[in-house]
Structure 1
Amino acid sequence: MSKPVLQIVIGSTRPGRVGLPVGEWILDEAVAHKGFEPELVDLAEVGLPLFDEPHHPRLRRYEHRHTREWSAAVDRADAFVFVIPEYNHGFNAAIKNALDYLHQEWQHKPVGFVSYGGVAAGTRALQMLKPVVASLKMVPVVEAVNIPFVRTFLDDEQRLRPNEVMTAASAAMLDELARLAVALRPLRDPDLAED
């Protein structure tokens, strides 16, 4: 059986964002984990406009090319890590917009979170996003990485230099994502379900 595809989605699109080095770090962790085929998905590059489809996403009647491409990308994944900032005590619009574009493509897939910010480490954004992903029938894992005062972990080359707590948290999250990606596979592919 092939390794699950893990998409690490960088949720911030703001110029000068910290999300890119955080996402690159968790990608390196996922490669070292060896339990996945990891991919980095940068919402700044995906470039979705504010949700602009005329039909409800559950119908999968997409009229725009950007939506069809986003649908194909998300469909390919078995699990996700959302790398999210905290804006004004909540999650940012780009990640919510990306989620709202689709429906069935998200279902029965586990999701982990790497949140970052100041003193709260992005945890308020993470907690607000959990009911959103649950409504899409995603399975949020309990294990997460929360990075407080994130800029203090960037070196002169703007690469994230994690501490032991962050590294241990990422390993625990990736282990759980790997387990759930395999366990939920029959729900995503009815041909794999037992009779």
Structure 2
Amino acid sequence: MPTIGIILGSTRPNRVGDQVAHWVLGHASRRTDVGFELLDLRDHPLPHLDEPMPPSLGQYQNEHTRRWAETIAPYDGFVIVTPEYNHGIPGVLKNALDYLYAEWNNKALGLVSYGATGGTRSAEQLRLVAAELQMADVRQQVALSLFTDFQDFSVFKPGDHNLAALTTMLDQLIAWTSALAPLRTPPATAT
């Protein structure tokens, strides 16, 4: 059964992203066709990118990079839960993505963003990064407004329409995860 990693892309104190990520996980875990696991970047601290070789070469020299690669490689796809900071993605999330290359390739990506304007600019930046990492981002995204989906900007209270968007995004993500499976499977070698 395929497994999707839900990456919580904020490590800030008092973040609201953990509420969002658990909402995604709670809804997604009701499915029986795919498994879901939460990956909190707080649990995977990485220094600013410190690998001497480009990640596309796969010659990881640091133990923290190898651990991160071992964490990401088994997943068949991802949902990234991201805030929008200054019209962009959090530095910690960009850093975590930049560390690896092949481990992201040929995997589907769904986006759940939040912020003053629903985190849409953060999601758009992630789509650009995902393309370079050879990830297939799905069209549907969940865009949560700090003004309407959070009480006092701190307690997550999503509107019902967000659940429909999440369900559609997950349906697209799982379809693309399955469609990309042959690309993630190494070809059989002739004997």
* Aligned-partner SS, 2:48: coil
Give the equivalent residue in structure 1 for 2:136.
139
Residue type at the aligned position of 1:69? R
Task: Please give the TM-score of this superposition, normalised by the length of structure 1.
Answer: 0.90
Give the equivalent residue in structure 2 for 1:148.
145
Tell me the distance in 2 between the aligned counterparts of 1:30 and 1:182.
16
Task: Please give the TM-score of this superposition, normalised by the length of structure 2.
Answer: 0.92
Give the equivalent residue in structure 1 for 2:126.
129
Deviation above 2 Å: which 4+ runs of structure 1?
150-155, 158-162
The answer for unaligned runs of 5 or more in structure 2 is none
Aligned residues: 187
Q: 2:55 aligns with which of 49, 54, 57?
A: 57
Residue type at the aligned position of 2:122? A
* Percent pairwise identity: 43
Residue type at the aligned position of 1:148? S
* Aligned-partner SS, 2:59: coil
* Aligned-partner SS, 2:140: coil
Q: Deviations over 1:115-134 (max 9, x none)?
A: 0011x110011112211110
The 1:9–1:182 alpha-carbon spacing in structure 2 relative to 1, beyond 3 Å, is same
The answer for unaligned runs of 5 or more in structure 1 is none
**Matching of residue 10 in structure 1 with residue 8 in structure 2:** yes
Tell me the distance in 1 between the aligned counterparts of 2:103 and 2:89.
21
The 1:131–1:143 alpha-carbon spacing in structure 2 relative to 1, beyond 3 Å, is same
**Matching of residue 46 in structure 1 with residue 48 in structure 2:** no
Bigger proportion of residues as helix? 1
Tell me the distance in 2 between the aligned counterparts of 1:174 and 1:152.
20
Q: Deviations over 1:122-165 (max 9, x none)?
A: 0011112211110110001001100001685359xx76332211
1:24 Cα offset (Å): 0.8
Aligned 1:32-181 pairs, distance under 5 A: 32-118=30-116, 120-149=117-146, 152-153=149-150, 160-181=156-177
Q: CA RMSD in A?
A: 1.7
